[in-house]
Structure 1
Amino acid sequence: MIDHNITDVGVLDKSMAIISTCEASPRMAADIAETLDLSVPTVHRLARALVTHGLLVREPTGAFRLGARFISFGLGQIARGPLRTLAEATGEACQLWVPRGSNRLCLVSEAMPQELHVELREGTQLPLADGGTAARVIEGERSDSSWVLTVSERTAGLTSISAPVETKDELVGAVCIVAPVARVTSDLGELYGTRLLVAASAIERAVNPA
């Protein structure tokens, strides 16, 4: 039997072994169990937990593969430049949000030094259920314009617009612009929608090299 006890935390060792097995290509639970000398119920239990944390994804075929969490490890560095460019072009706060279970995590935050501005610290987590534009995009909402816009919904006096960042297989995050309503002469889509999509596209190209 394969010795999974690399550390003294057996559940973690087994979970990492499952991740390693799925690293090269998608694997069915029975195949993983056979490779690692684990029971199929154990593999299913641990793999489902890893899916919840975004470390694995289960395909329609039932096979498990690496999840978006691995992409997001480098996503912040990739997104920093496009978000900074977006913030400088718009003069508003720009963020990249990524899914974390029932929450969303602010992975990158770029704010301009204006007296009246919106700023959220990197590492902030907010519930997906709060209805913000990034939350709506992460949960799959789309519009004909490819972005989601709100005005004074999650927070009175603020307006925001978000667009998805996707790999070839799945959504990995949402780019967001947030501004005080008092400074916006028309809706953010009219003002900055194209710039938002350009930033999202730049991040996607870096994540999905040709």
Structure 2
Amino acid sequence: MDNHSGVGVIDKASAILGALEQGPSTLAELVTTTHLARPTVHRLALALEHHHLVGRDSNGAFVLGRRFAQLAASVGEDRLVSAAQPVLTVLRDRTGESAQLYRPHGDQRICIAAADRPVGLRDSIPVGTTMTMTAGSAAQVLLAWEEPTRMHRGLAGARFTAAELEHVRAYGYAESAGERESGVSSVSAPVWGTAGTVIAAVSISGPIERLTAHPAGEHAESVMDAARQLSDVLRRTES
């Protein structure tokens, strides 16, 4: 494939974004991957960051920005996002809590769809928000079925343990209370892709005063049902 369009700055920006498709990269790594001069990579990466096409992870490395999830949702090219909105709306109405859908994004996770509780106290997570993979029930779900090396790396510094991830795999859901944010509880379940891997996590979250410290007892089945619906949609669209 010819990567040269004749417009140099576009070709260079495209090279940077292509490198970030493979995961987070430091400036030095982008220079090595793109074979561009360091000042050029730095200048273009900062410009792309200004437009939210590039972001930063918790370690300061460059990652693809939240604008890509927003664009995918707006044009309806992402089957999962397109299918998620009605499912999350039903989940919100069924549980009375804000519902979200997260995808892994380098060493973080990104909210790609959400249905907020309309009134009262709620845990509002705007679409495009990047969040930690070291805390919260969605992080547990996204890490629980990872291959061992990545899982062990993800557990370094995490607020949950390998034993807790084993529980997630055994029961098909995760719960947390005050793990990601003080005073917030959540329940999450996995969305399975056609390749037999977990590609996303469905969650509900809200104040611990309302959801309690063990929200799975009341809400795990509803969250797992929503995740199963999205998994089924993906299987149907791939067949």
Query: What is the TM-score of this pair, normalised by structure 2?
Result: 0.60
Larger-Rg structure = 1
Q: Which moved more, 1:78-87 or 1:136-145?
A: 136-145
The offset of 1:186, in angstroms, is 7.1
Question: How far, CA to CA, are the matches of 1:149 and 1:90 in structure 2?
Answer: 15
Q: Distance in 2 between matches of 1:143 and 1:3?
A: 44
Question: 1:74 — aligned with what?
Answer: 79
Matched AA of 2:22: V
Return the letter of the residue paired with 2:232: R
Aligned match of 1:172: 199
Aligned match for 2:114, one of 86, 109, 117? 109
Which of residues 224, 229, 233 in structure 2 aligns to 1:197?
Answer: 224
Deviation (angstroms), 1:13? 6.7
Task: Report runs of 4+ in structure 1 exceeding 4 Å deviation.
Answer: 9-16
**Structure 1 counterpart of 2:176:** 150
Q: Aligned partner of 1:158: which letter?
A: V
Equivalent residue in structure 1 for 2:124, among 119, 126, 143: 119
Deviations 1:74-116 (A, max 9, x none): 3211110111000000000110011111111111111122322
Instruction: Name the SS for the 1:114 alignment partner.
Output: coil
Partner of 1:97: 102
By how many angstroms is 1:73 displaced?
2.7
In the other structure, the counterpart of 1:138 is: 142
Seen in structure 2, the aligned counterparts of structure 1 residues 112 and 49 have a Cα distance that, compared at 3 Å, is closer
Q: Residue 188 in 1 paired to residue 192 in 2?
A: no
Instruction: Report the number of matched residues.
Output: 163
Alignment deviations for residues 133-178 of structure 1 (CA, whole Å, 9 cap, x no partner): 1112112243422011111122121111111111121221100111
Identical-pair percentage: 23
Counterparts of 1:197 and 1:134 in 2: how far apart (Å)? 12
Please state whether the residue corresponding to 2:113 is helix, strand or coil: strand
**8 Å Cα contact 1:6/1:13 also seen in 2:** no
Residue identity matched to 1:128: M
Aligned-pair Cα RMSD in Å: 2.8
Contact 2:99 2:203 in 1 (8 A): yes
TM-score of the aligned structures, taking structure 1 as reference length: 0.67
Alpha-carbon offset, residue 4 of structure 1 = 3.7
**For structure 1, which runs of at least 5 residues remain unmatched after alignment?**
17-45, 54-68
Amino acid at match of 1:177: I
